[in-house]
Every structure is written in C-alpha cells, then in structure tokens.
A and B are shown apart, each in its own frame.
Chain A
Amino acid sequence: EAGVVQSPRYKIIEKKQPVAFWCNPISGHNTLYWYRQNLGQGPELLIRYENEEAVDDSQLPKDRFSAERLKGVDSTLKIQPAELGDSAVYLCASRQWDLHKAEQYFGPGTRLTVT
C-alpha cells in the first residue's frame, strides 16, 4: 500500500514570494492533517480535514496561509506571501477514521527555506 505522498521535498524561495505544497493521502483515509515542524521541535497542527471539510483550522495563520482539499482526496497548502519565519518542514498526515484507531501516517514532508 502506498504511503502519504508529498511534493516537493525541498523548496527554497525568497521572502514575499508565494509557495504551495501538495499532499496525496493514503487511499481510503478520509482525515487529512497538515503540521508544521520547526527545527528541533515536535510537529504542530495547522489544519485538519474530514473529507473535504476543514474542521479545525484554529492554528492556521489565515492572513497568509490557505489550504484546500478538493474532492476530499489531495490537499494543497499555500503561503502567500512567505516570511522568513515560515522556514520549517511541512508535514502531511492521514488517518482512516476509526474510534478505536487513532494513529496517523505521515508523509516525508516538504522542507521550506525562506531567504
């Protein structure tokens, strides 16, 4: 079974430029998460989707970040404009909703460097 796929793996941009990250979750997983991981820290949730609905975006900086999950499968996370402090690894994870199974499976992440 294929895992969570993310692209690109690495991205270097100048500040004030836009950037987008793409995620394809594990087939059949209806819950999708975007996390941000700063250097030396654990991941922190940005947004959670149940199918195509964003049900928890309380930690998404909405002035510059946006996300979508059309048709409840692939998802895109966008930053416009990027700032130096946005440099981090952006992780996508998915889960098949089950009250008794809570583990999430993560993709390899996109390492963003803003110069």
Chain B
Amino acid sequence: AQKVTQAQTEISVVEKEDVTLDCVYETRDTTYYLFWYKQPPSGELVFLIRRNSFDEQNEISGRYSWNFQKSTSSFNFTITASQVVDSAVYFCALSGGGSGNTGKLIFGQGTTLQVKP
C-alpha cells in the first residue's frame, strides 16, 4: 500500500527564518512521482513541484528547495528566508508511475506553516 507521512502538524516561524517541512513515503512501485502542493487560506491547492523516482537530483526554485532521498524514502521541502505570504498548509503527495500511471494522488495529512512578521 502507498502511504505519505507528514509528521509535523504545525510549524511556526518568524519571518526570514529558514524552515524545512518533512515528508516520508511508502510504496512498492519502482516508478513513482512525488509532489508538493500549497493550500493557502483561499483553499485552492497550488502545484509546486513534481519529482520522478528516477531523478534524485535536488531542486532549487527561488527560495524553495527540495531534497529527495530514496535511501530514506524522504522528500523534504525547505523554504529559505520565509515570508508571511508563505503561510499555508503544505501537502506532500505520491502517485504511481510507469504504464500504470493513473495519477491517483495519495496525500499526507499536511503541515500548517505560520510565518509571523
């Protein structure tokens, strides 16, 4: 069975601090995709990143960076120099890949990030 665990329920930081959101996943698929989505108070899930299981390169996009480690089944997300606008619920998600790619997303419970001014 597939499972995503986000152990941190809530994190509170002060603006400009760096913060890391943890994500641990379980799957028996050899090919799979990992995602991060942001859900601001407006409610819409905003796609941030997709990572293929064959690509373990870390990725940086502005203040955002992602660390994918298959050895520990983790896909952590770091926000550098956090800003108030980063306050939201962040979800890590997993889907199977390859020819059986149905796109069904298995979500973690989410981490609520509060950035205080």
- Where the two chains meet, the residues of A that have a C-beta atom closer than 8 Å to any C-beta of B are 31, 33, 35, 40-45, 48, 55-56, 89, 91, 93, 95, 97, 99-109, 111
17 more contacts with CB within 8 A, not counting A35-B105, A42-B108, A102-B35, are: A33-B103, A33-B104, A33-B105, A42-B4, A42-B107, A43-B91, A44-B107, A45-B105, A56-B102, A89-B43, A99-B99, A101-B50, A102-B50, A102-B101, A102-B103, A106-B46, A108-B44
Task: List the B side residues contacting A103 at CB < 8 Å.
Answer: 35, 47, 50
- B4's nearest neighbour on chain A, judged by CB, is A42
Measured in the bound complex, the distance between the Cα atoms of B35 and A56 in whole Å is 21
- Where the two chains meet, the residues of B that have a C-beta atom closer than 8 Å to any C-beta of A are 4, 33, 35, 37, 42-47, 50, 52, 91, 93, 95, 97-99, 101-105, 107-110
Q: With A56-B102, A102-B33 given, is the CB distance from A109 to B43 under 8 Å?
A: yes
Give chain A's interface secondary structure class: strand
- A111, B43: Cβ atoms closer than 8 Å: yes
Measured in the bound complex, the distance between the Cα atoms of B3 and A64 in whole Å is 27
